[in-house]
Amino acid sequence: MTRITPRVVLLGPQAPLPTVGSVVKEIDPGGRVAVITAGWQEWESDLAGLRSQLGDVIVPLRLYQRAERIWEQDHELRVAHRRMQSDLKGIRRLYARQLDRAAEAWMELLETEGPERIVGPEREAALEAIQRLDAHHLRRIDSVQTEFRDRMTPLERRSVSRARGEILQDLSGCSTVVIEGGHAAVLHNRIVLFDLMDEIRTRIVVGCAAGAMILGGRVVLYNDQPAIGRGNAEVGLPGHGLVPGVVALPDAAFRLRLDDRSRMRRLALRLSPDRCALLDPGHRLDWDGRAFTADGSRLVRRDGTLVPWDRAA
Amino acid sequence: MRPAPPHLEVESGTVDPRGLAIGELILGAVPTTGDVDHFIETHDFPIVEGTTCTFVFRGDVSRVTLRHWVYGLPAGVPLERIPGTDLWYHILELPEGSRVEYKYEVRAGRESRLVRDPLNDRLAHDPFGANSVCHASGYTVPEWTHESPDTPKGSVEERVFHSRALRGERRIALYRPARYRESRQYPLLVVHDGRDYDRFASLTTVLDNLVHRRDIPGVVVAMTNPGDRLEQYRDSAEHARYVAEELVPTLERELPLVGAPEGRGLVGASLGAVASLSTAIRYPRLFGRLLLQSGSFAFSDIGSHDRGPVFDPIAQMVNQYRAEPFPVSEKVFVSCGIHESLIYENRSLVPILRGTGMDVRYVEARDGHNWENWRDRLREGLAFLFPGPQWWVYL
């Protein structure tokens, strides 16, 4: 395998096999490494594991703690942010209700027997209905978040602007940014709050698990065996688009029924033309701006089969 | 196929053993002791074959009766002795996914005693001891009920709580989740019969696992234990006051808790479910989440209920609530076993609860009035009431 010089590296979960240390040492030996661990929330500062892998070159950006401090200082912004989150929760509930019915209708049509010329176009229409719903949901999220930004102009508020300045200062000496996993929405929201993605994308970016998810075009949430409900995958958030056309699915072996070919087929069809990249522990997918190389990562094909990413390419 | 011996004539309502493992012993000549030894050594008991379960007992006794707690089946089912042997059997049809607790009543001479199945190591414990358990086809013990070395453990602190309402001291066990932080705000669950929930329904192990899997958020749990259970759990104003006015406010002052209805839950099984509902009725909307398992919700539409005078205060409470239902909470999870007589009462309560506009999830299981049934429903119940960030967290 010829290793490219990556711009973005997507990694699987960091337990039980942490790989981020060896990956960063390989692609940016000696460089300073900004780390975003906001997805760990209250445990953001528990950096012993990362330090043991990366050493003293890490520069924690502490986005979660900084945001918490801002909420304490800026009551108006905190209230507006909470209201936005509450609106988003409500929209998600409505989306999930519609999705449940749309997915059921599509599954029923997929199992319906009959001549392809009769059933085929109906199946396509049912699939398109889900894809339209997914796209609509992302637009709703975007519009709520845009409305919040336009109304509250967080970057113009002193607390945010000061924190952002500190973050940019920390970032300035770093050639690599590691975005650890955790809560995908918290990660996404903190990066958006401080408007950091334009700064991040000029560096080598390594995303682990949820950190990998937010770097694609869409953040897709999935759990095939949930405690409640049918486990329909949901489009959760717009991604930051650093890795085009890819939906990263970390911890797939645990969260997805990979041996259920019809289920995997539905996932691949629904998310097409994006490609689903399975990222289990130890797996890696590199993007250099032109091409991918993979180590362990698998692709879900549109027939529901799984193949090593490199072979699919 | 050889004709069945006379004792094998299949009566209406019984199961034909031909084609089943036990048939090997019945269909041929009288089995030797060696045949029976071999049979015992080469099978797990009860023998589960599709939807049939063959219960087997070996012993030179005069009568063996299968005692189970499956409502709808005869309470005592006699086992049949295979002539010329000391082997007894009974074949029971059990639907997919069933789980049945049982004992054998063994009669030898004039003496009769209840024993667990000596051929079956699978036991379920409860405050009265232990029963043997039959896992029918399709039932498996949920993996999230087992301890796992990879799962961080929460802590349990024993506390003595002085209650003015109950005029005495009460011991509670306070569960905090792993990685507990003062900077978070945790939901609070008050679990009736908390010690038994933990001993017999693996409550803290289940909580550890569900929190670790993020099926639920980290929760603080007050595991309470009654003094006089019959007194306090049958719609007692003092008990409700203890929970709502003393225990919960104290914990909310001392601990980082949500402190709002959506962050307060009451949990109970059997009479504990009655105590939970009774407290919620007396303090409407204080608790936004209720988990009611196999509640002893006696009631009567006409005449009197048939559960004896012990249930009178409960029937009075339930009848009154049925007459004038109102929303006492926001979300309610109700579960009951199909094999228990209380299925009627629970099924009857659900439309009443739903009619008030509360968000009610009702689940039935092919199981009985026992702790492992209640354990097995905890994931769904707790995740319904307190959904965790599982969908959002990828580490």
Helix (H) or strand (E) holding B337: strand B331-337
* CB-CB under 8 Å, B395 with A227: no
CB B154 within 8 A of CB B178: yes
The residue behind tokens 């401080």 is: A194
* CB-CB under 8 Å, A209 with B392: no
Q: For residue range B157-200, list pLDDT tens digits in order.
A: 999 999 999 999 999 999 999 999 998 899 999 999 999 999 99
Residue A5: predicted pLDDT: 57
Q: How far is CA A42 from CA A186, A301, B210, B223, B358, in A?
A: 11, 38, 19, 26, 33
**Encoded tokens for B229:** 């259970």
The Cα angle at residue A184 between residues A207 and A59, in degrees rounded to 5: 50
Helix (H, G, I), strand (E, B) or coil at B128: coil
* CB-CB under 8 Å, A13 with B394: yes
Facing A213 at nearest CB: one of B183, B384, B394: B394
Residue B28: predicted pLDDT: 80
Distance CA A98, CA B148 (A): 37
Give contacts of A279 with chain B, Cβ < 8 Å. none
Distance from CA of A219 to the nearest CA of B (A): 10
Facing B395 at nearest CB: one of A13, A185, A223: A13
Distance CA B185, CA A215 (A): 30
Distance CA B284, CA B305 (A): 26
Distance from CA of B148 to the nearest CA of A (A): 15
Give contacts of B215 with chain A, Cβ < 8 Å. 226-227
B133: Cα separation from own chain's centroid: 13
Question: What is the per-residue burial (b if ≥16 Cβ within 10 Å, else e) of A67-103?
Answer: bbebeeebeebeebbeebeebbeeebeebeeebeebb
Q: How far is CA A242 from CA A9, A279, A289, B87, in A?
A: 10, 17, 9, 71
* CB-CB under 8 Å, A228 with B387: yes
Give contacts of B177 with chain A, Cβ < 8 Å. none
Give contacts of B384 with chain A, Cβ < 8 Å. 227-228
Distance from CA of A271 to the nearest CA of B (A): 18
CB A228 within 8 A of CB B213: no
Please enumerate in sequence order all residues whose Cβ is within 8 A of that of B60, keeping only pairs 6 or more positions apart, or say none.
B86, B108
Facing A221 at nearest CB: one of B184, B391, B395: B391
* CB-CB under 8 Å, B383 with A226: yes
Distance CA A59, CA A48 (A): 13
B338 phi and psi angles, rounded to 5 deg = -65, -25
Strand partners, B280: none
Distance CA B265, CA B328 (A): 12
Question: What is the per-residue burial (b if ≥16 Cβ within 10 Å, else e) of B67-106?
Answer: ebbbbeeeeebebbbbeebebbbbbbebeeebbbbbbbbb
Closest CA to A188 of A84, A287, A55, A97: A84
* CB-CB under 8 Å, B395 with A15: yes
Residue B3: predicted pLDDT: 37
* CB-CB under 8 Å, B394 with A209: yes
Please enumerate in sequence order all residues whose Cβ is within 8 A of that of A83, keeping only pairs 6 or more positions apart, or say none.
none
Q: For residue range A22-67, list pLDDT tens digits in order.
A: 999 999 998 999 999 999 999 999 999 999 999 999 999 999 999 9
Facing B379 at nearest CB: one of A42, A186, A227: A227
Distance CA A69, CA A115 (A): 62
Q: What is the pLDDT along chain B (395 residues), one digit of tens a residue?
A: 333 444 445 454 577 888 899 998 988 888 999 999 999 999 999 999 999 999 999 999 999 999 998 988 888 899 999 999 999 999 999 999 999 999 999 999 889 999 999 999 999 999 889 999 999 999 999 999 999 998 999 999 999 999 999 999 999 999 999 999 998 899 999 999 999 999 999 999 999 999 999 999 999 999 999 888 988 999 999 999 999 999 999 999 999 999 999 999 999 999 999 999 999 999 999 999 999 999 999 999 888 888 888 999 999 999 999 999 999 999 999 999 999 999 999 999 999 999 999 999 999 999 999 999 999 999 999 999 999 999 999 99
Residue A4: predicted pLDDT: 55
Distance from CA of B196 to the nearest CA of A (A): 24
CB B63 within 8 A of CB B330: no
Chain B residue set in contact with A, beta carbons under 8 Å: 179, 181, 183-184, 210, 215, 379-380, 382-384, 387, 389-395
Residue A312: predicted pLDDT: 76
ipTM of predicted complex? 0.95
Could you give the angle at which helices B194-201 and B203-212 cross, rounded to 10 degrees?
80
A233 phi and psi angles, rounded to 5 deg = -60, 145
The Cα angle at residue A204 between residues A200 and A210, in degrees rounded to 5: 70
CA-based nearest residue in chain A for residue B210: A227
Distance CA B304, CA A181 (A): 60
Helix (H, G, I), strand (E, B) or coil at A179: strand
Q: Which residues of chain A have pLDDT under 70?
A: 1-6, 313
